[in-house]
Amino acid sequence: MRAARLYGVGDIRVDEEPRPEPAPEETLVEVRAVGLCGSDLHWFSEGAIGDAQLAHPLVLGHEAAGVIASGPRRGQRVAIDPAIPDGTCRACRDGYRNLCPQVRFSGHGKTDGALREFMAWPAELLYPLPDELSDRDGAILEPLGVAIHSVDLGHLPFAGTAAVIGCGPIGLLTIQLLRRSGAASILAFDPRAHRREAAAQLGADQVVDPAGMTTGQVRDLVGYGVDVAFEIAGGDPAVALALDAVRPGGRITLGGIPDDDHIGFSAATARRKGVTIALVRRMNEVYPRAISLVARGQVDTAPLVTDRFGLDDTAAAFDTAVSRAGLKVVVEPYR
């Protein structure tokens, strides 16, 4: 089979490798679609993400769908939950499998991901896809799951107001979820015109370029402030914008991943407003909800996919994703 491995910063190579042999609890999956995530771009551009460093050539990719290639479920189309928690630690027992300290994650650390023709994965983490969902839809379920988890943490009041800071794929999915959740108004911020246009098309009431905006201008825009601000961009400016936009007593969810693994903000502003800040760690048990939302037409994933590549062109796919000229880049191994 072919697999795309990251050997160093910007060094992706596609080579032939042995097909993986499933362990007793695993199933062999033929991978059909893999979305490139912002975290994949950290690996590609920096050879690291957060405090994790590239220690050996790694197959990236955790937003994936495929077809089961062996066993009693052979031929079933599935979405692949990329997180393998240990299931025994206190976090897992308390219902926080996304916070498992021993979690193995597709395309992270020592665990090879989905940018290959076949992968062996635990059968219990392979979710059947209904006929209404394409393989690309199946790959977008993972970022949709992150957006669902973020909205869960935001506790938006019924008919409340929200701001979304960063209108990449997860931001755009968050906007759709907020609209379905009964938000009275959604304000979206992004410096890129094509992302602002997508935000407006997918449900934002107002879209704004935050470049050069002062705190006073933000306050003039939001008035008393929004109930919940969803930061999905990464970096201190986005966090500061969330603090400026949220109302006293409101909530902020931080979903962006900063390049230098540090977040800074004005303690005085946060203290005076008495905000509650929640940090988003991937997702919890959300795949069934994500599948249902797309199958029922409540969330539209199709407009997010702007670029498609075959596995042999994975390096070009990463270059396109890094340019941020589109929205979601998807690699299809059998394209």
pLDDT tens for the chain, residues 1 to 335: 999 999 999 899 999 999 999 999 999 999 999 999 988 998 898 888 777 888 899 999 999 999 999 888 999 999 999 999 999 999 999 999 999 999 999 999 889 999 999 999 999 999 999 999 999 999 999 999 999 999 999 999 999 999 999 999 999 999 999 999 999 999 999 999 999 999 999 999 999 999 988 989 999 899 999 999 999 998 899 999 999 999 999 999 999 888 777 888 888 889 999 999 999 999 988 999 999 999 999 999 999 999 999 999 999 999 999 999 999 999 999 87
18 with 117, same domain: the answer is yes
162 with 232, same domain: the answer is yes
Q: Which conformational region is residue 65 in: left (phi greater than 0), alpha (psi within -120 to 50 degrees), or beta?
A: beta
Q: Say what the pLDDT of residue 259 is.
A: 78
What three-state secondary structure class fits 124? Answer: helix
Q: Say what the pLDDT of residue 207 is.
A: 97
Is 326 contained in some domain? yes
76 with 194, same domain: the answer is no
Extract the tokens encoding 92: 């897992």
**Half-sphere exposure (CA, 13 Å, Cβ side) for 250?**
23
Q: Say what the pLDDT of residue 326 is.
A: 93
CB burial readout 260-291, b (16+ within 10 A) else e: eeebebeeeebeebebbbbebebbbebbeebb
82 with 208, same domain: the answer is no
Q: Are 41 and 155 in contact (CB under 8 A)?
A: no
- Beta-carbon contacts of residue 266 (< 8 Å; ≥ 6 apart): 240, 243
Q: Say what the pLDDT of residue 71 is.
A: 84
Is 172 contained in some domain? yes
What three-state secondary structure class fits 214? Answer: coil
The kind and range of the H/E element at 211 are: none
Is 321 contained in some domain? yes
Is 295 contained in some domain? no
18 with 115, same domain: the answer is yes
193 with 235, same domain: the answer is yes
Q: What is the pTM of this model?
A: 0.94
Q: Say what the pLDDT of residue 97 is.
A: 92
The number of domains in the chain is 2
Is 112 contained in some domain? yes
Long-range contacts of 44-50 (CB under 8 A, 24+ apart): 44/6, 44/9, 44/10, 44/12, 44/318, 44/322, 45/9, 45/10, 45/322, 46/9, 46/259, 47/6, 47/8, 47/9, 49/108, 49/257, 50/257, 50/261
Q: Say what the pLDDT of residue 246 is.
A: 97
Domain of 107, CATH number, reads 3.90.180.10
196 with 81, same domain: the answer is no
Residue 216: count other Cβ atoms within 10 Å of its Cβ.
9
170 with 257, same domain: the answer is yes
249 with 166, same domain: the answer is yes
The kind and range of the H/E element at 82 are: none
Distance in angstroms between the alpha carbons of the first and the last residue of the chain: 14
Is 83 contained in some domain? yes
208 with 269, same domain: the answer is yes
Domain of 216, CATH number, reads 3.40.50.720
116 with 149, same domain: the answer is no
Is 120 contained in some domain? yes
Is 137 contained in some domain? no
Extract the tokens encoding 43: 């690996």
Range of the domain at 65: 2-128+301-332
210 with 317, same domain: the answer is no
Minimal CA–CA distance to 112: which of 172, 193, 58?
Answer: 58
